Amino acid sequence: MADDNGAKQSAATWPLVKFQFQVTIGSDEIMFQEVTGLTSETQVIEYRVGNSKAFTNVKMPGLKKYGNVTLKKGIFKDDKKLWDMYNKVTMNTFERVTVVISLLDEANGVAMSWNLTNAFPAKMTVTDMKADANEPAIETMELAHEGLTLAAKS
């Protein structure tokens, strides 16, 4: 039987919530509304030898492929941080950075982190504007990167 207030429950009883997270780009912590695109995929190489008795291809793991990560945040007056970062990208001269996306626990501590290696801004999108809308203006930055690693808290 469980205790009355749940104090003795294991930390592993409940999954982490996805609405409590933080993003660090280089040395700057920037507040975002949404983070999507944390994906990793292994390309499949199919091969068949001409004298194989099996009438099927052999499948082997190939190169890893990482999707771009999309970050969305509200537009605030005189906040040009993302645009300044994007405007520094010119013909492979941008200083690539490590981006750390952390999922936080109930006490606001880092529970798990995903690191994007050699990330750089690949796309910026400004909010759509609509006279009858009743919502905040959102800007979107898409980051390209060369690797996604998980760093679970031990």
Q: Give the per-residue pLDDT at 5.
A: 57
Instruction: Express each pLDDT in 59-72 by its tens digit.
Output: 999 999 999 999 99
Bridge partners of residue 23, in order along the sequence: 30, 101
User: Could you tell me if residue 44 is inside a domain?
Assistant: no
Which of these, 13, 16, 19, 52, lies nearest to 35 by C-alpha position? Answer: 19
Across 53-90, b (16+ Cβ under 10 Å) vs e yields eeeeeeeeeeeeebebbbbebeeeeeeeebeebbeebe
User: Could you tell me if residue 88 is inside a domain?
Assistant: yes
Give the whole-number percent of the chain exceeding pLDDT 70: 90
Give the whole-number percent of the chain exceeding pLDDT 90: 68
Q: Give the per-residue pLDDT at 47.
A: 92
Q: Give the per-residue pLDDT at 12.
A: 60
Q: Return the CATH number at 98.
A: 2.30.110.20
Instruction: Express each pLDDT in 51-102 by its tens digit.
Output: 888 888 999 999 999 999 999 999 999 999 999 999 888 877 778 999 999 9
* pLDDT over threshold 60, residue 11: no
Q: What is the number of structural domains in the chain?
A: 1
Residue ranges making up the domain that contains 34: 21-38+67-152
* pLDDT over threshold 70, residue 146: yes
Whether pTM > 0.85 for this model: the answer is no
* pLDDT over threshold 60, residue 3: no
Q: Give the per-residue pLDDT at 40.
A: 95
Q: Give the per-residue pLDDT at 13.
A: 73
User: Could you tell me if residue 4 is inside a domain?
Assistant: no
Q: Can you give the three-state secondary structure of 14-26, one letter per residue? A: CCCCCCCEEEEEC
User: Could you tell me if residue 59 is inside a domain?
Assistant: no
User: Could you tell me if residue 62 is inside a domain?
Assistant: no
